[in-house]
Each structure stands twice: as C-alpha cells, then as structure tokens.
Structure 1
C-alpha cells in the first residue's frame, strides 16, 4: 500500500488481501467481491477504494507470490542441474497456479495484454522461467525449439489440468510427461 496511510486503512488493506487470498483459494478468482468485503468486515466501497477492479485485487494478492517464483528461479539456477532446476520451478509454478481456480487462464490473458495490471508481474515470471529454460537448452538437456512463452503456456496447461482433475498427485505425473516431451 503506497504512501502514508491511516492505521485503520492499512489494517483494512491487509485484511482485504488476506481474505481475498482465502476466497480465491476456496472459490476461484471469480469469487464475489461483495463476499470478500463482507468476510473482511468492510463495506464494498472500502474494497473498491483500495482495489478499483478485480484485477487490481488479484494483482495485489499475487504480487508477492510471483516475486517469490522469480527469486526461486534465480536460486535454482545456481543450486541445481539445469533440467532439474527447470522441472522444480515448473512444478512450483503449476502447483501455485492451481491454487486459485481460473488463474492459469488469467495469467495467459495478462501476458497478451500489456495494459493488464498483471502483465508486468506475469512477464517477469515468464522471463525468470525463460532463463532456466535457456540454461537447460544450453546444457543440451531441453529442446531448442521451445520458447519462454511456450513454456509458460505449458505450465498453465499443466496447472489447468491438475485443477480440473481434482487429484493433486497427478500434477507430478503430468510434469514428468511434459519434461519427457521437452527433453533434447
């Protein structure tokens, strides 16, 4: 929350973020904003003062998560063999994306729309994954004809499939199948 604000406004902002994350996890990203406000104990006007659109609320909820994934990619690049680093990161992205029903589609749409509030954080995450991809390609472990955009679309597809299958243990199987297809 930018600038100096009253302590009650800060509490409302933080409470709205926490409740929104919980509501998104329970009901997907299309959850009722009225329900978010009600559960946070504030009026809908308070929610809209802090977050003028659903996308603004989603961006605030996801900003820290996407930044952690970017940092995680940097960490894995220095600590794991290239293909293992890529596999680990893809799994973390897919599992995280499946947390909120509808998120994989939202991420892919945001990447296509530079005016989207989510565009920058999604693009930064895509760039982090592309670095891991390039590292694995340079090591001869991953096909050279795959781009960072295609990789993020693949992980969005894995997250979508894992979300729809309602069997979290399938995510690892889906990822292994994808990694076999990406192998050089």
Structure 2
C-alpha cells in the first residue's frame, strides 16, 4: 500500500474494518456489496482493493493471524510447554469462534506435505509455521500425547468453532467443549 494516495489508504482501512465486522457476523458468505455500502464506497472501490472474495477474506484474517503468530512466539518462551500450547490453541479457537469465516476457510486446507507455492501463504500455512515450534516443544517434553500433529490441533479448534457457531453463546459453548477435549471425559481423581 505504499505509494497509494491518502484517500485510497483510508478507503482500504475502512473497507477492511467493515469487512471484519461483516465476516464476524456472516462468516465467509459476507456480502461484498454490503461491505461497500457500510464502508460508504462503491463496489468498484472494494474490488479495486480486493479483486476476489478470497482476497478480502485473507486480508480480514491477516491481522488476527499475525496476532496469533506473535502470540505463539511469546508463548514459546513460557516455562510450561503444555500450558503454552493450550493457551495458544485456545486463542486460535476464540478467534475462529469470533470470525466464523476463518474456520470455514481452514476446512478447505487439508494437511499436505507439499511445499507451498512461492508467494502463497494461506492462513493455515502461516498458523502452522507459527505454532509448530510450540507443539514440537510440548511433544519433546512429553507434555502432549505422542503422535499429535498440528493438523490434529487445527481440526479440533476448527471443529469446535464450526459446531458451536449457531449456539446462543458460541464462545461459552466453545470454551466448555475445549476444556472437555483437553481434560477428557473422565472426572478428575479425588485429591488426597
């Protein structure tokens, strides 16, 4: 965006802010026309900045994804590797619940061993790059079940987000299910 006129930068920022709210409310099916109307710009202005729906969605997710990546980096220095991984996974779940379009987008990114195309950095790939060190450390410490993969964790978070998105209080239900998944179905043994 360097070199753009000030009004173009303002339009971009306003469109992105409106799009984030629309995606949070309507998921990946958010209307580009509604984004344009709410932002006070024409549809052509939206399409000039974001030529496809996918481009708009990736821009909406980018800032939060970057935040999740920064959070993973912060947590990589925590003493308890299991707690750090679970805290990061909970942060991912909270965002996926709040921005339903992200969970939808991540369901279309199945695990692959193929390297990404140059210049192609999907949301899932960026998240994986950031969180894999947390998982590796927890595995090395014996803090999570051997054989656990990043895609297992991503599937868990996305599954919970998608399963709870139509609940009256999706974040409350998602938190409950997250705790249940992490702690398991068996009650804790009585303390002595």
Q: TM-score, normalised by structure 1?
A: 0.88
**Larger helix proportion, structure 1 or 2?**
1
Does the alignment pair 1:35 with 2:40? no
Which of residues 131, 134, 137 in structure 2 aligns to 1:132?
A: 134
Root-mean-square deviation (CA, aligned residues, Å) is: 2.1
| Counterpart in the other structure of 2:77 | 78
Shift of 1:53: 0.4
| Unmatched segments (≥5 aa) in structure 2 | 185-192
Shift of 1:118: 7.6
Of 88-97 and 153-162, deviating more is 153-162
Q: Classify the secondary structure of the residue corresponding to 1:79.
A: coil
Q: Classify the secondary structure of the residue corresponding to 2:165.
A: helix
Measured in 2, the distance between the counterparts of 1:173 and 1:161 equals: 12
| Counterpart in the other structure of 1:120 | 122
Question: Closer, same or farther in 2 for the Cα pair 1:164/1:130, shift >3 Å?
Answer: farther
Aligned pairs, number: 179
Paired residues of 1:158 and 1:174 also in contact (CA < 8 A): yes
Question: Closer, same or farther in 2 for the Cα pair 1:120/1:6, shift >3 Å?
Answer: same
Of 32-41 and 77-86, deviating more is 77-86
Q: TM-score, normalised by structure 2?
A: 0.84
Measured in 1, the distance between the counterparts of 2:102 and 2:121 equals: 13
Shift of 1:8: 1.1
Shift of 1:101: 2.4
Paired residues of 2:97 and 2:174 also in contact (CA < 8 A): no
